Amino acid sequence: MVDLGPYELLLSIAAEGSMGRAAAVHGVSQAAVSARIRSLEAALGLTLLERSPRGTRFTPTGALVAEWVRAAIAAAEALDAGVGALRAEQTGRLPVAASLTVAEYLLPHWLVALRDELPATSVSLSTRNSADVATDVLAGDAVLGFVEGPTIPDDLDAQVVARDELVVVVAPDHPWAARRRALDAARLAETPLVAREHGSGTRAFLEDSLAVPLAAPALELSSTTAIKNATAAGVAPAVLSSLAVAGDLAAGTLAPVRVAGLDLRRALRAVWPRGRPLTGPAARLLRIAAVAGRSAAGDRDGP
């Protein structure tokens, strides 16, 4: 970049009204200010100041250049501030809030990729239910959030980053595990379940999908692992993400139950304050999540 020091001296002369006062502002001698202005005039091929025993004043050309200098210095300061902000983002802390399913089964892979791209960025992760994630993002406690609920507050922007499907699961010796016919959706709705707390995206999505009120839970837990353990112990059926129960179904500790006429496929979304485009590490993390989601969708659709 062009050395703006002489131009800043020029503006100080304009503001203070003399070379002597401008020199005092900058903590240098008047002779030093005069020498730098003469060098600037020589470099530009223009006469900027008229010097006389009564003082120094701008020539018309100098006054015009001074106006241009104000705009140039303001632009340089904006550039410096912007670059500094980007540097701080890349070497600073990124607060993220995520719902349980995303935090446990997807986000760790995304954060590994982010660390490879931006090793100096530190991520602070808060694991919450979807409603609380939205609250954190709106309050500024998280720059970026990930939710699994069916609705997004109007003051948040959102982007689908992955897709998932809920699965009804029971203990292997539960009567539903031996059913040959699909379970009726109304039967599921009237059955007390081991469920997440209110505000959970999984619970909200199930309620929306059934379109009828759910029975009061047999047990209400805030941990996916606790829900799986309670269900495997025979407390009651549960409805959980396919990501969460894949290993349990393969091991036979939980059994899946088909439900007739019920589509439990859902979108997992990134959210951030409306009208505030993401930058720096937050934008990188969003891109990583979206690319991973597209890749996973391609794998499911492939042969």
Provide the 8-state DSSP code for 175. G
pLDDT class of 248 with cuts at 50, 70, 90: very high
Least confident of 5-14, 211-220, 245-254: 5-14
- Domain residue ranges of the chain, discontinuous segments joined by +: 5-90, 93-303
Give the burial string for 127-141 (b: 16+ CB within 10 Å, else e). bbbbbbbbbbbbeeb
pLDDT class of 173 with cuts at 50, 70, 90: very high
- Annotate 65-98 with DSSP letters as a single string: HHHHHHHHHHHHHHHHHHHHHHHHHHHSEEEEEE
Which CATH number applies to 5-90?
Answer: 1.10.10.10
Is the pLDDT at 298 greater than 60, yes or no? Answer: no
pLDDT class of 58 with cuts at 50, 70, 90: confident
Is the pLDDT at 3 greater than 70, yes or no? Answer: yes
Yes or no: say if 152 and 201 are a contact pair by the CB < 8 Å rule: no
Residue 34's identity, in one-letter code, is S
Strands (E), the chain: 49-52, 55-58, 93-98, 122-127, 144-147, 156-170, 183-184, 194-195, 219-220, 238-241, 255-257, 259-260, 265-273
Is the pLDDT at 18 greater than 70, yes or no? Answer: yes
pLDDT in tens, 103-153: 999 999 999 999 999 888 889 999 999 999 999 999 999 999 999 988 899
Q: What is the pLDDT of residue 238?
A: 96
Is the pLDDT at 251 greater than 80, yes or no? Answer: yes
CATH T-level fold of 93-303: D-Maltodextrin-Binding Protein; domain 2 (3.40.190)
Angle between helices 5-16 and 19-26 (to 10 degrees): 120
Say how far apart CA 202 and CA 221 lie, in whole Å: 12
